Structure 1
Amino acid sequence: MDGRTDAAYGRTVELDLPFEAAVARTREALAGQGFGVLTEIDVRATLREKLGAEMEPYLILGACNPPLAHRALEADRSIGLLLPCNVVVRGTGADTSAVQALDPQTMVGLSGNAALGPVADEASRRLDAALDALA
């Protein structure tokens, strides 16, 4: 069942799609909102290689919208620690997946910098639109 849920610090979309298809659709949805994927961490492969541990498919996409990142960094040079860049795609079953993104308002709340509010608002609109395109 495709659907979206929001939590205190993140947003999640549950998809009736296998993992690889969810990754492809997530990339497309992010691109449609001006986000490029700059980094990719295959957590499953890393844990298998380094620890011999097994887990479900789990990919962290480092998504960036350069104009929004620039505005945030102009307001606070340390905000790179809190930029809402990570988008997680993980397998939840044989033919189901979840896509998760950090709530951009978290960077405002944690930093206490009100100047980041408009950036977080726009980032929220864009990430929400990308996640809604998946649901």
Structure 2
Amino acid sequence: MTYHISKKIAKQDFSSAKEKVTEALKSEGFGVLTEIDIQATMKKKLDKDYKPFVILGACNPVFADKVLSIDPNMSAMLPCNVSLRELESGEIEVSAIDPIAAMASVGHGDIEPLAKEVRNKLERVVEKV
């Protein structure tokens, strides 16, 4: 089982690609709660060079509320991470967590249908960019 939904997109300005992903997330009801700049962090902490690479912590509040109402400890599984990273080829890979894979070990039957719905939304996000 794969744990992510990914797609490579053509070479383009990294900021433009991030904006497209953010807009695609909004169109599916997600907001970006956090942004981790891997490139800057690795340079600062390890003096290691990375190509542009960010992780967006995306949340769909409607689904987050449903999941947390079933099991408040599921907060450890939130938000849904979506990453963008520039590849050696110049292409940009967009990758989103697969909520079904992430939550499979929990064994909560009530959460599984919600994970499927969120997976469908994240698949559409990745396809839109």
Same fold (TM over 0.5): yes
Structure 1, unpaired ranges of 5+? 1-6
- The answer to whether the aligner puts 1:17 opposite 2:2 as a matched pair is no
Contact 1:83 / 1:107 at 8 angstroms: preserved in 2?
no
Kept in 2: contact 1:84–1:107 (CA 8 A)? no
TM-align CA RMSD? 1.5
What TM-score does the superposition give when structure 2 sets the normalisation length? 0.92
Distance 2:62 2:24 in 1: 18
- 1:83–1:104: 8 Å Cα contact kept in structure 2? no
User: 1:122 Cα shift?
Assistant: 1.2
Identity of aligned residues (%): 35
TM-score of the superposed pair, with normalisation by structure 1? 0.88
Shift in alpha-carbon separation, 1:102–1:85, aligned structure 2, 3 A? same
In 1: Cα distance, 2:79 partner to 2:97 partner: 6
Matched, 1:113 2:112: no
CA–CA distance in structure 1, aligned partners of residues 4 and 98 of structure 2: 5
Equivalent residue pairs, number: 128
Give the Cα–Cα distance (whole angstroms) in 2 for the partners of residues 118 and 84 of structure 1. Answer: 17
Give the aligned partner of residue 54 of structure 2. 59
Once the two structures are TM-superposed, the CA of residue 83 in structure 1 deviates from its matched residue by 3.1
Output the CA distance in 2 between the equivalents of 1:59 and 1:46: 10
